[in-house]
Structure 1
């Protein structure tokens, strides 16, 4: 293993600001404002490439790294997913073990590079699924979104120069030929439904010659050569320390960027896209009961659900409607309004779930998605843990983003960025929250000036989250 006596270089520009001011543009309210750019922590994902002979232990080494890191934001992507679809003649050769899967031409590098660039940009990437039993690419895909670290493993992981440009660390896995052959036989019989005779035929016909021609030269571009694979604990420790350092740097710059954004936003007036509900006698009365620590749990839930329904109704004022006439069963005509398209909602867990009963009272058949973003107890940085969205959310006329409280705005920033990354137009997002502080609102509307925000109550900038604790009684 080389480079063992030197610290691993950190590529890229770790000092680059995650929040920068963009070009001036027209806002939806007619004013001209500079929009701040928000980069979530998974933007510019760190890509680790692991190449080596078939059976050299690339997958096992990748899994060992993930296991040692013990983090939910590390994803393994196999280059095997990017085998090209075969024409009928090539498919027949594949079933006769006569098709060369171990040549670079068998890999669709154009699609691979496109998906890696999407992930580098913080976008959602649809990864193809290849069936080795059918020797065909399946119709379904697997989505990858928001990894902080991506481990790309495969025999040609370090082959294409375009892929190398995107990598932060390059590893070559080394093992003797007999070990590689025995591992390949075990894997292909167990996982790919092949017979031993066909495996050996492929090994001597394609795998071994192509290793010497295409795979072995990749060691020249590797930062680390790892002999003995998963048994090499020193190499695994070096790699995990490098990844942990990259993650620590990203976390540090993300938190610093949020702080800078907060300072920049303090001097700006509240956006005209923010609507604070009129404090009528009814609302003030309900808020008094909701905030009274002596209110019973039943009263709290009853009045909060009523408040939530009014909040959702107010949020729907930001949705485009069109006139419609309905013929009733008795033969009368009723003229009213109907949303121009489908309206869906995304619940920002856990607090947003307290607004769901109110949502159902207004739109009982509303499609819903869920996002779980929690602050790291050690650093305070918001982290994306769970994500489920309607598959056609990018086509919806409006998307209501529901949260019970917004203080610093870090979770709301990340949630809106997730929706934008999934194709939802900014001006179709309506954030509805029971209470919010001015700093959080400033921060959110500075980055996303075209979203609409509906707030039940303006509160002090730093307020502990208490609504979900009382609503769910835990």
Structure 2
């Protein structure tokens, strides 16, 4: 509903709200936030009974107990009837809570802006509203009570997202007070869970790596709530004030404010606190680097910067529906960036040249003697980009056969090899677009070492790596450099990196 009341300024709005509250609302004494917040008043919320709260607390204890027992008992996910699968790297989960209209969404948006929207996904607790029963009027329903939310559903969604799986999440219409069609939500490195009661269930709270409480003055929150509910939820000022006095303020005192003690960070003034938000963004970025970057374990690993350009290229050529022409074009673009990065790791000599202005330029010249060794067949896709940026580079080839299961790294053997005799004097760029188990690349490295190539002279170039492959190559050959653009989650039972790109050679060469 459109209303002039939705367009007035904050100062005037606050004045009018104060006047209306004086005229229409009875005086009341707010319960002390320091009182025992676990008490239950039967009058809180039209839902009436607190049986659901008791059940939720029992489920929380069951989940915590089951997860503490590990393999000897059901996990928390199995308690809820969802099967678990193993995963390698879990996302960083942030919980953001605070009073209604305190600025939680603004804080979340600024965190996402600071980290990059390609790295984050926002999950709103509002999506998991239970909905109003048919025989209950919306003015008599407490939307701020824990019974109003389906925390079990939220738990299942977060567990699946921890494994990197896309999930269907509900959407809730606050005008019809019903759930509408679900939408598909992809997992990301950072999952932000936002809502007034995100800290309330213990089994949800335990999943969070960082908990943020957004603190704002109560009058400011009320003004924002009035403006929002009038403009977007079709309510009048009187309806908003009545609901605030009847449900919102008591629920904040009893359920929301006490969870402040669980917060790792308290952000006063909400989205306007730029210093606090910048510190949060920097801390999260550091944690992501520490927990997810293999450079901490393997300093010889060099990964392209994770920016929007790199993500955009991956998005196109990973897509199963992309045409072969586009797959080749965008894969070549990314291969060229990988090759450039690999060449930048080679030794160089200082050199002085004279510019057309007659002035000297103090630069560098790469050492001579570079050879690209492609692992047939997919490695041949990288030869064109190498030749495009390094005309003097020579090309060698290896065909490696696998006499056993793909996941068994011990059955690789050299079936064909075309390398110059003087390769031991050259700097080798080993070309293989996808590093899965690492067995094929390890076999190629052993062949190079047997021909006298120093380990320091070998650089492995690939587009996508798996943690298993990196652990094998970087762990077994500590002086060999590896350049990649992405470290994916794992290798599946068929030997493919996931999410990966499928069979790279078949897609590139159209076979």
> TM-score when scaled to structure 2?
0.46
The structure with the greater share of residues assigned to strand is 1
User: Which structure would you say has the larger Rg?
Assistant: 2
> TM-score when scaled to structure 1?
0.50
Higher RCO, 1 or 2 (CA under 8 Å, sep at least 6)? Answer: 1
